[in-house]
A and B are shown apart, each in its own frame.
Chain A
Amino acid sequence: MTDTDTLDIDRSVGDFSYPEQHEFDAGYGLTADTVNYISNVKGEPEWIREFRLRALDVFEKKPMPTHWASKDLEAINFDKIRYYLAHGQKATRSWDEVPEDVKRTFERLGIPEQERKFLAGVEAQFDSEAVYSNIKKAVGDQGVIFVGSTEGLIKHPEIFRKWFGKVIPTGDNKFSALNSAVFSGGSFIYVPPGVKVKHPLQAYFRINAENFGQFERTLIIADEGSEVMYMEGCTAPKFETATLHSAVVELVALKGAKIQYVTVQNWSANVFNLVTKRAIAHEEAEVKWIDCNIGSRLTMKYPGVVLKGRKARGEVISIALASDGQHQDTGAKMIHAADETTSNIVSKSISVGQGRATYRGLVHMPKHLKGCKNNTECDALMINADSRTDTYPAISVRGTGNAAQHEASVSQISAEQIFYMQQRGLSEAQAMSLSVNGFVNDLVRQFPMEYSVELKRLIDMEMEGSVG
């Protein structure tokens, strides 16, 4: 639509904050002292402290990846970020123990009481520490471990240490190194062999302090033949200055295991969301990343799967909505490392107003593998005349046993479709909303029901202002 006005999104819907009292505060900036402070406060074992300090060293040595990534990264001032804040409470397990103002925040976010009770486990991260952690009894009975990362590394070192930092090494990139140095919060999940977790495990992440970076660290291990679905969704109040969010998520799917990881990201438009997510899929295992990015100022996130065992399967389903002032730089990585591994990437992006959506992908099939297949599809929808979209896939294939195909298209909503719907009495905004929802519908359906409802509502909201 060339004649539509630039989208004006009312983000005040999510604008709120409550006064915060932090018992622990590492202050601004990042030095070895900051790292030691975090490690002391959390009462961590010595090996983690050393791990953090080594990571700090790597972080300081690594340059910003601005030779390929957005120059906007230079706007991050690492000295003006607080790397650790906490209430100092232990993770609480029952609803009664949750502080009143935290409950109010949930209320404002509109998370229905019913849903809270229904969901298997609720892990709400509130400023660095898991404030609220409720594991449904049934899940615990099955032997599933679902705790915060700190609790995980202290109480279950025999499992935690084996996999921690193995999927995403500290030096993977500058921001994984940063996370490794200052991480706090996030989840540790272990699913024993053969256990199929019926209900999705869920965590809500929130940012609620100005200039506050959040560096959660999640490690999920699905033992042989087990199945688990993990969901994370996040909304945040709008802050005055830029905020950094840099998570590291590692998934390990052992033989025949299945992991689905669902993210709905809706940070406020001043957040840098620079996340490293990767999985290792062993023999016949399946890992599926379902990723939806709506918020943030700049998101850089390329969930990956290392297909390590024969017949392993990796999938990334990605939806990105980039509005004014936003750059959704998302994508996927598929590293084929065994025979007969298959991967599928489907990415759909919508650029609204002056928003910019970028797909960046990597598919790697080294030699001597047989029967590997990759399929990649990227579709971009442009809403306004000054919207922007980019596609940068990179596909390396060796040998005669493998096949990769990539397709991408860029289009706009057909004026005829809009005209047809207006003829039938819909307003232009409603018609646009319907078209956009139609564009992403086949992907939205792959989200859990409550998320797909929320997504549709979000798209409606974003489209409301897109027409004049």
Chain B
Amino acid sequence: MTSSILEPEFMEQTLAGAAGKLLGAGPLLNDSPAWLQALRSSAWQRFEALPMPQRTDETWRFSNVRGLDLSAYCAPQPLAAEAGDDLVARSRGLDQVSGRMVFGNDQLLSQEAFSGQLREKGVLWLPLEEAFEQHPDLVRKHFMREDAILGSQKFAALHQSQVRAGTFLYVPRGVELSLPLETFHWMTGQAGACFPHTLIVAEERSKVTLVDYLQSADPASEGFASGVSDLWLEAGAQVTYVCVQDWSAKARSFQVNSTVVGRDARAVALSLQLGSAAVRSESVSHLRGEGGRSEMLSLALTLGRQELDQRTFQIHEVPHTSSDLLYKVALDDVSRSVFSGVIRVNPGAHQTDAYQKVRNLLLSDEAEANSAPGLEIEADDVRCTHGATTGQIDEEELFYLLSRGIPKKEAQKLFVDGFLQEVIARLGHDALGESLREKVHAKCGANHHWAE
């Protein structure tokens, strides 16, 4: 897309972006409720007080902490009407959804509910700003209640001081939504910024699926994004959350996720990491109710100089819980990946069943994969296993395909597709799976090694 969606004033500000519009501006204090303003102000103080991460910090081991100069970015700027319409038109997700919300530069562009079910069943599905106004008690009870604990405290604080865009989804007890909900977050302009937020509160025995799409209007623009997604599952709830991260190839992005799993609840969270020059993703599962289960999934194809830095924490707080993590990364060119994840079993959390599996597929001689799968176990009656492998396409398997007349490029694509497909299949959602797969294929197409 073109940059014509920018208003002239914004272009000027962008050029003067180094003046520190984002950093100098302080917390976002619009006409929001007093409690929120207080929260944002204290978050801003934390943001300013916390030091920038250093490579010597254990939570930033292997990370590239350069290029974190936030003064290079501007606060989210208002969009022109036609630019907004353009983005709404480009917000294509699944064919069948219950509802779709679109944000551009942290501003609500459209909200469509395709299912009458939502209102009838008492489901709240609101832009975050509306939820702050209309359901302050419900929101305050859950809004960023779990601290970021994997290293990005500073960026989570920044998020909290700036956040206004995103979805609040509340599903009452016993309500099941058969079709997914979708939220699109667009970032536009040069050196823009974006703070997408997702808050899901699923009451007892409710069931819902939400998909977030994080995208840049201009694939060549620079930008900064710091998103937070929090999932709260009460007893017996089932939540599937998918995040498709496809910011521009020059963006620097952060995602901080926390999932709190209640008794007999089941959370499935999947990240498809496609965009960003450098992305840092942190995901924490709190297994807080007996019988709770959390599945943590991620797949990525990294190209060029991309850096993918994923940190996870599976915290088993009570007995009889399970967690299962599967992270797969295919790396080409000079891209790098970091995985650092810990399974933690708290004292007394017996009958924990935890698994962690990390697979890296190196497609070039310059690609680099760093894995640090960890275990911290303080109970004896547990089953905890992890495995991390890094390898390449098997020569013999490749030879087999070549001998069947399949060109090498095509064969490599097939391998990558098969490699990543395992993660998508775990979703158990055909339409959504197919849509994710198409996105992976599109990225495969962007790999110049495989270009026709």
Contact = CB atoms under 8 A, between A and B. Distances in A.
Nearest to B370: A396
Contacts of A367: 365-366, 368
Interface string B245-275: 0000000000000000000000000000000
B310 to A, nearest CB: 14
B377 A382 contact: yes
B254 to A, nearest CB: 22
Contact of B382 (A384, A386, A410): A410
Interface stretch (A156-164, A210-218, A398-406): A398-406
B281 interface: no
Interface stretch (A15-23, A175-183, A387-395): A387-395
B365 A399 contact: yes
Contacts, number: 138
Interface in A179-238: none
Given A2-B380, A384-B380, A403-B389, A67 B56 contact: yes
A405 B372 contact: no
B7 to A, nearest CB: 45
Interface in A386-429: 386-412
Contact of A385 (B57, B350, B369): B350
A385 B382 CA distance: 10
A432 to B, nearest CB: 13
B389 A390 contact: no
Interface in B371-399: 371-393
A396 B377 contact: no
B370 A394 contact: yes
Contact of B380 (A383, A402, A408): A383
Contacts of B371: 393-396, 406
Interface string A34-69: 000000000000000000000000000000000110
A354 to B, nearest CB: 10
Contacts of B367: 398-400
Nearest to B365: A399
A404 B360 CA distance: 10
A1 interface: yes
A416 to B, nearest CB: 13
Given A386-B347, A393-B373, A393-B388, A400 B362 contact: yes
B380 A400 contact: no
Specify which of A395, A402, A405 lies most central, judged by the most chain B CB atoms within 10 Å of its CB.
A395
A397 B369 contact: yes
B365 A400 contact: yes
A81 interface: no
A388 B382 CA distance: 12
A311 to B, nearest CB: 20
A97 to B, nearest CB: 51
A82 to B, nearest CB: 33
Given A385-B350, A390-B375, A410 B390 contact: no
Given A382-B382, A385-B350, A397-B362, A67 B57 contact: yes
A406 B371 CA distance: 9
Contact of B385 (A385, A388, A408, A412): A408
Nearest to A356: B378
B373 A2 contact: no
Given A394-B371, A395-B371, A395-B390, A407 B385 contact: yes
A393 B374 contact: yes
A320 interface: no
Contacts of A408: 373, 375, 385-387
A380 interface: yes
Contacts of A351: 380
A408 B372 CA distance: 12
A404 B391 CA distance: 7
Contacts of A396: 62, 368-371
Contacts of B347: 386
A385 B369 CA distance: 36
Given A397-B390, A406-B373, A411 B383 contact: yes
B410 interface: no
Interface in B4-61: 56-58, 61
A406 B387 contact: yes
A67 B58 contact: yes
Nearest to B389: A405
Given A394-B370, A410-B384, A68 B363 contact: no
B386 A391 contact: yes
Interface residues of A, number: 39
B364 interface: yes
B348 to A, nearest CB: 8
Interface in A413-463: none
Interface in B216-260: none
Contacts of B381: 2, 382, 385, 412
A368 interface: yes
Contacts of A386: 347, 378
A119 to B, nearest CB: 39
Nearest to B352: A410
B382 A395 contact: no
Given A67-B58, A393-B373, A398-B368, A406 B382 contact: no
A400 B350 contact: no
A394 B372 CA distance: 4
A331 B12 CA distance: 56
Contacts of A400: 362-365, 367, 392-393
Given A1-B380, A384-B380, A410 B375 contact: yes
Nearest to A410: B384
A362 B391 CA distance: 17
Contacts of A404: 388-391
Nearest to A383: B380
Contacts of B348: 385
A370 B362 CA distance: 13
Interface string B173-216: 00000000000000000000000000000000000000000000
A398 B365 contact: yes
A165 B182 CA distance: 61
Interface string A352-390: 000000000000000110000000000010111111111
Contact of B374 (A387, A391, A402): A391
A410 B369 CA distance: 25
Contacts of B384: 409-410
A411 B382 CA distance: 6
A269 B364 CA distance: 49
Contacts of B373: 391, 393, 406, 408
A367 to B, nearest CB: 6
Interface string B337-360: 000000000011010000000001
Nearest to A374: B390
Nearest to A68: B58
Given A1-B380, A380-B377, 17 more contacts: A367-B366, A382-B379, A382-B382, A385-B381, A388-B376, A389-B376, A393-B388, A395-B388, A398-B365, A399-B364, A399-B367, A400-B367, A401-B365, A403-B389, A403-B390, A409-B384, A410-B385
15 contacts: A2-B380, A382-B379, A382-B380, A384-B380, A386-B347, A393-B371, A393-B374, A394-B370, A395-B372, A396-B368, A397-B362, A399-B365, A406-B371, A409-B385, A412-B382
- Report, nearest first, the 9 A-B pairs whose CB atoms are least far apart: A382-B380, A391-B375, A397-B390, A399-B365, A400-B392, A410-B384, A398-B368, A403-B391, A405-B389
Interface of A: 1-2, 67-68, 351, 367-368, 380, 382-412
Interface of B: 56-58, 61-62, 347-348, 350, 360, 362-393
